[in-house]
Amino acid sequence: MSVLTCQQLGYSHLQQLLERFGLSLTVVADNTPIPGSWFGEPEAGVIKTEVLVRGDTPVHSALHEACHVICMDAERRAVLHTDAGGDYDEENAVCYLQLLLADHITGLDRTRMMQDMDEWGYSFRLGSTRAWFEADAEDARDWLLHHKLIDSDLTPNWRLR
pLDDT, the chain, mean: 96
In angstroms, rounded to a whole number, what is the distance separating the alpha carbons of residues 3 and 138? 26
DSSP reduced 3-state for 35: coil
* Mean pLDDT, range 29-39, rounded to an integer: 96
Share of the chain above pLDDT 90, in %: 94
Numbers of helices and strands, H then E, in the chain: 8, 3
Is 160 contained in some domain? no
Q: How many domains does the chain have?
A: 1
What is the reported pTM? 0.96
Q: What does R_g of the chain's alpha carbons equal in angstroms?
A: 14
Q: Residue 123 above 90 pLDDT?
A: no
Residue 80: per-residue pLDDT: 98
Is 57 contained in some domain? yes
Domain enclosing residue 51, as ranges: 1-153
Q: Residue 1 above 70 pLDDT?
A: no
Is 159 contained in some domain? no
| Residues 6+ away with beta carbon under 8 Å from 70 | 21, 23, 97, 149, 160, 161
Is 161 contained in some domain? no
In angstroms, rounded to a whole number, what is the distance separating the alpha carbons of residues 33 and 141? 34
How sure is the predictor about 124, in pLDDT bands with cuts at 50, 70 and 90?
confident
Is 60 contained in some domain? yes
